[in-house]
Amino acid sequence: MGLTTMFMVLLPVLGSIFVLKVPYPGKFELDAERANILAKFDDYYSGAVEWGAEQPSHDEANNKDAAERYFTLITDFFEYGWGDAFHMSPLKEGYSFKASMAYWEQNFALEMGLKPDMRVADLGMGIGGPLRRISEFTGANITGLTNCVHQVNRAKTITEQRISSQWHKDRCTYLVGDYNKLPAIMEENTYDAAYFLESLSHSENRVPPLSEARRIVKPGGIVAGWQWMLRPEFNYSDPYHMELKRGMEYGGGLRNLNKPSERHLEYEAAGLEVLGSWDMGMQAIERGWNGWWTSLTSGHDIPSTLTSSHFGRKLTMWTVWVLETIGVAEKGTLRTAEMLEHCGYSAAVAGEMHIFTPAWVTIARVPPAPKGE
Ligand SMILES: *[C@@H]1O[C@H](CO)[C@@H](O)[C@H](O)[C@H]1NC(C)=O
Ligand SMILES: *[C@@H]1O[C@H](CO)[C@@H](O)[C@H](O)[C@H]1NC(C)=O
């Protein structure tokens, strides 16, 4: 693309940022300097910027902090590129990107069997987009948790600004906390269900968060995951597969992506019974939907083409480059955009190759027998 075209496209974007005050990536103030957080993040994934098949060394103690830093860095990018839900979903012709996302959130809620007034925990809630839609759809009372203070603040602001119904507000609660060790307020045997919506793979070892979910959910209750996972076809001995895996892990703030058979052992180690497990991405394709990766490659509708598609992400990078160069966006904003671009690219390629999915659903339950037997 020539420079002239680039500026013709950039101008309206910059115009809408300054004139219409559309939030741009890097707009919201962080509680630490972006460049500083990035340096720590890179340190955690030491050597990760030199893309290659070699995996970064594990650093379990730093895992929680890495996820927190990651989400502090990327939250406003995701709000800009994806809206209030930071997950991927299959897409349907004639449905907008947002309607497609909401459709599969509802499908997930249905699979979990959520009902009005159930007490439900959303562990790793992001800024609570899915939580708000699932509580509205099912009538369940959902408490969301994230270890990122920035995200809880955004969730509360959005709820104040966009939710007009008191009925709905009464069913959305947000907490700051670590899903590896849930806050005391989330008591044992008090929830009807708990779910992880694209949040479980941020933990290097999934047993602690799953064990915590098992602890707070009543016997017989559901613990469900919608997860970034390698599909069974993924080949650990193939250097190209491994390079894509690493690109997704670094840019996605993830660790140690694994396959369904390996993930099930983690559910079982947490004392859960796996009832069912499948790739919702492929399920949707069978039903005539487009692959979830479309939003990352060509784009699905006009808004997603402008922000999340391959072209949209380039546009975001140019925008951010301009904003950072003229001193409007903080230093390190472009690097954050590049990191996300690499993740988006790797995920799209791996998706088209059918070796990865961001929507592997696992439905498990807490054994119905009394606990502590
Ligand atoms: C939903 O749960 C929250 C947190 O436990 C509680 O404060 C609130 O009263 C509940 N809302 C309804 C409608 O029961
Ligand atoms: C996995 O990759 C290795 C290295 O490229 C290759 O030799 C092997 O045949 C592959 N396995 C399968 C099942 O495709």
Whether 27 is covered by a domain: the verdict is yes
N-terminal to C-terminal alpha carbon distance within the chain: 65
Question: How many CB atoms are located within 10 Å of the residue 38 CB?
Answer: 18
What number is the average pLDDT over the span 225-249?
Answer: 92
What is the CA(280)–ligand 2 centre distance, in A? Answer: 26
Same domain, 323 and 272: no
Residue 143 beta carbon below 6 angstroms from any ligand 1 atom:
yes
Together in a domain, 182 and 143: yes
What ligand 1 atom has the least distance to the C-alpha of 167? 13
- The widest CA-to-CA distance across the chain, in whole angstroms, is 70
Decide if 291 is inside a domain. no
CATH of the domain at 123: 3.40.50.150
Which strands make up the sheet holding 172-176, listed edge to edge? Answer: 172-176, 141-146, 119-123, 191-197, 217-230, 356-365, 273-279
Lowest mean pLDDT among 209-223, 231-245, 332-346: 332-346
Sign for the CA dihedral angle at 299, 303, 308, 313 comes to positive
CA of 85 to the centre of ligand 2 (A): 36
- Predicted pLDDT of residue 53: 40
Q: Kindly give the residue spans of alpha helices, DSSP state H, lying in the chain.
A: 3-18, 34-44, 63-82, 97-112, 129-138, 149-162, 166-169, 207-216, 239-252, 260-269, 280-286, 302-307, 310-325, 333-352
Any domain includes 264:
yes
Q: Note whether 274 and 158 are same-domain residues.
A: yes
- Please name which of 175, 192, 69, 195 lies closest in space to residue 130, comparing C-alpha atoms: 195
Q: Which residue has the higher pLDDT, 95 or 54?
A: 95
Same domain, 120 and 225: yes
- CB of 312 within 8 A of CB of 300? no
> How does residue 50 score in pLDDT terms, banded at 50, 70 and 90?
very low
Q: What is the pTM of this model?
A: 0.83
Residues 151 and 269 in one domain: yes
Residues 143 and 263 in one domain: yes
Pocket of ligand 2 (CB under 6 A): 235, 237-238
Of 318, 356, 326, nearest to 229 by C-alpha is 356
Q: Which helix (H) or strand (E) holds 104?
A: helix 97-112
Give the type of residue at 176.
V
234 CA to centre of ligand 2 in angstroms = 10
| 300 and 216 co-located in one domain | no
Of 254, 152, 161, 250, the residue nearest 202 (C-alpha): 254
State whether 162 and 234 are in the same domain.
yes
Tell me the three state secondary structure of residue 9: helix
237: CA distance to ligand 2 center in Å? Answer: 6
Q: Considering the domain boundaries, does residue 249 fall inside one? A: no
Answer with the residue of higher pLDDT: 317 or 202: 202
Q: What are the respective helix, strand and coil percentages of the chain, to the nearest 5?
A: 50, 15, 35
Q: How close is the Cα of 172 to the center of ligand 1, in Å? A: 8
Same domain, 148 and 266: yes
Based on the structure, what is the number of domains in the chain?
2
Least confident of 51-55, 71-75, 191-195, 362-366: 51-55
Provide the domain limits for residue 266.
Answer: 112-238+257-281+359-365
Average pLDDT over residues 21-47: 61
pLDDT reported for residue 51:
41
What pLDDT is stored for residue 295 in this prediction? Answer: 79
Q: Letter for the amino acid at 35? A: A
Mutate to test the pocket of ligand 1, among 114, 118, 141 (most ligand atoms within 8 A of CB): 141
Relative to the alpha carbon of 235, which ligand is closest? 2
Ligand 1 centroid – CA 28 distance (Å): 30
What are the phi and psi torsion angles at 179 (to 5°)?
Answer: -75, -10
Residue 317, domain member (yes or no) = yes
Are 162 and 60 contained in the same domain? no
Q: Specify the pLDDT at position 96.
A: 87
Lowest pLDDT segment from 26-35, 119-128, 189-198: 26-35
User: Is 24 domain-assigned?
Assistant: yes
From the CB of 192, is ligand 1 less than 6 Å away?
A: no
Residue at 101 is within a domain = no
pLDDT digits (tens, 9 = 90+) for 115-160: 999 999 999 999 999 999 999 999 999 999 998 898 999 999 999 9
| Closest C-alpha to ligand 2, atom 11 | 235
- Residue owning the nearest CA to atom 14 of ligand 2: 235
Please report the pLDDT score of residue 206 as a whole number: 94
Overall average pLDDT of the 26-49 stretch: 60
CA 203 to chain CA centroid, nearest Å = 12
Whether residue 251 lies inside any domain: the answer is: no
Element (H, E) at 364: strand 356-365
CB 349 within 8 A of CB 355: no
Same domain, 127 and 58: no
355 CA → ligand 2 middle, Å: 13
* Mutation to probe ligand 2, out of 230, 233, 238 (largest number of atoms < 8 A from CB): 238
Averaged pLDDT score across all residues of the chain? 84
Higher pLDDT, 149 or 270: 270
Residue 265 has pLDDT above 90, yes or no: yes
Interval 287-327: pLDDT, tens: 999 999 887 887 777 777 777 777 777 787 788 788 878 87
Query: 348 and 230 in one domain?
Result: no
